[in-house]
Amino acid sequence: MEQLTFYRDTWIEIDLDSIYNNVKNICKHVPENTEVIAVVKANGYGHGALQVAEEALTAGASSLAVAFMDEALALRHRGITAPILVLGITRPQDVDLAVSHDITLTACSAEWLHAAKQHKKTKRPVCLHVKLDTGMGRIGIREMGELKEFISCLDEGIFDVEGVYTHFATADELDTSYFEEQYQTFRTMLAWIEAEGIQPRKVHCANSATLLRFKDKLFNAVRSGIIMYGLTPSVEMNSLIPIEKKPAFSLHSRIAHIKKISKGDTVGYGATYQAEAEEWIGTIPIGYADGWLRKLQDFSVLVNGKRVPVVGRICMDQCMIRLTEKVPVGTLVTLIGKQGDTEVSAEEVASYLETINYEVVCLFSSRVPRVYIQKGAVVEIVNHLAP
Ligand SMILES: Cc1ncc(COP(=O)(O)O)c(C=O)c1O
C-alpha cells in the first residue's frame, strides 16, 4: 500500500466502497454465470486503474479490459494476475510480450494475423478475442469475405480464439432500432464463426448501457465501464438504471486566500469580472492544468453546503470564487461531489462543458493526487509528483 502525502490543497477522493457496491450490484443484476469484465482503461476512467481493478475483482468481476498494452503491463507490474483483455489494436511485433505477460489481445484482420505470425517466437499461443464491427465503424471485421480470410489464417498452436465480441454505438439511446440491427448482425456473424468450427469460450457485446437495459442479450460476458464508477451511460438513461449505484469520484480543494474587494474591482486575467458591490473573493489552488477547464468560468462549486460561482477567468493553477461571507482560509470547497444534501455531479459539469460524464472524470491530470477511502478512512494516497 502506497502511503504518500501531498502539499497542495486540491485532491480527488475515490470511495472504494462505492466501486465495490456498484460492481456487486452489477454482478447481481446480470444472469447467473455471466462473467463481468471490469473496464479500467484510461486509468480506470480517471479513478486509478489498479485500485479500481482490485476492488472490482474483490466484488465479483473476473477479468479486466484496458485500451492498450502499456495499460495492461502497468497492471501486471503492480501484481494483478486476473485475465486482461486489450480492447485496441496491438502492434503485431508485441505479441510475444503479450504472451509472456498473459495478456489477451484483440484481433480483427487477416493482415494482423499474418504479421503477428512473423513476429511470434514463443511456443504458447496468443490468446485472442476477435472483434466484429457490427456498426460501430471503429475496429473489427465487417464482411463475410474478411471473416473467411481471417479464419483461414488462424493457425492452431499459434492463436487461441478465446473470445468474440462487438461494441454497440447507440445502446444508451432511447431509440433502440440501430442497436437491434447491430445485435442481429452480431448473431449472424457469430453463426458464421461457429459454422467454420470455431467455438469461442467467451462471447460479449454489452457495455454498461447494454447490460443494464438488455438482460436477455448478454451472451456469457459483459464489459462494464461507466456504471461501475457509479455514473450513468447517458442523460437519456437517467431514469432507466435498474440497479443501485453511487458515484465514487469527488473533487475537492480548500480556500487558500480570501479578500474583500470593492465595487468596480476586477478579478483575474483580462479583468473580465467586475464586482458590483463589496464582495468576498476566495482563491482556490486548482486550474486548467489540473483539468478544471477555463470553460468552467461562472460554473458553481460548493462551500459550506451552498453553491457559489467561479468568477473571472480560470488560471493554470488557481481560480477565484465569490463567497457569500468571510470564511476561514482552509475551508473545504467541493467542485464535484456532495456537501450535505447539495451536489455538483460529474453529469452537471459535463452538461456545462457540453460533453459527457466519461470525459469529465478522465480530464483530471496526474498532478491531482488521488485519495482512496474505504469504510470512511483513507487507505491510500497516490501522488504522482511524490519523489
Ligand atoms: C470496447 C469497449 N467495451 C466496453 C466499454 C465500456 O463502456 P461503458 O463505459 O459505457 O460501460 C468501452 C468504453 O468505451 C469500450 O470501448
**CATH number, domain containing residue 195:** 3.20.20.10
Structural domain includes residue 257: yes
Are 223 and 320 contained in the same domain? no
pLDDT in tens, 173-195: 999 999 999 999 999 999 999 99
Separation of CA 40 and ligand 1 centre (Å): 9
pLDDT of residue 155: 84
pLDDT of residue 156: 80
Structural domain includes residue 304: yes
Range of the domain at 133: 16-229
Are 269 and 219 contained in the same domain? no
Looking at residues 155-172, what average pLDDT do you find?
95
Residues with CB under 6 A from ligand 1: 39, 87, 167, 207-209, 223-226, 233
Whether residue 41 lies in the annotated active site: yes
**What CA–CA distances, in Å, run from 258 to 178, 183, 288?**
54, 57, 20
d(CA 367, CA 292): 12
Tell me the whole-structure pTM to 2 decimals. 0.97
Are 217 and 268 contained in the same domain? no
Structural domain includes residue 5: no
Backbone angles phi, psi at 276, to 5 degrees: -90, -15
Separation of CA 245 and ligand 1 centre (Å): 18
Single out the residue in 172, 194, 229 at which a domain terminates: 229
Whether residue 338 lies in the annotated active site: no
Structural domain includes residue 267: yes
Are 131 and 32 contained in the same domain? yes
312 burial via Cβ count (<10 Å: 0-12, 13-18, 19+): buried
* Total number of domains in the chain: 2
Rg from Cα positions in the chain: 24
Band of residue 95 on the pLDDT scale cut at 50, 70, 90: very high
Please give the mean pLDDT across all residues of the chain.
97
The protein residue with its alpha carbon nearest to ligand 1, atom 13, reads 225
pLDDT of residue 57: 98
For residue 84, the surrounding DSSP H or E stretch is: strand 84-89
The percent of residues in the chain predicted with pLDDT above 90, rounded, is 97
Are 175 and 305 contained in the same domain? no
Question: Which of 259, 269, 295, 306 does the annotation list as catalytic?
Answer: 269
Are 274 and 325 contained in the same domain? yes
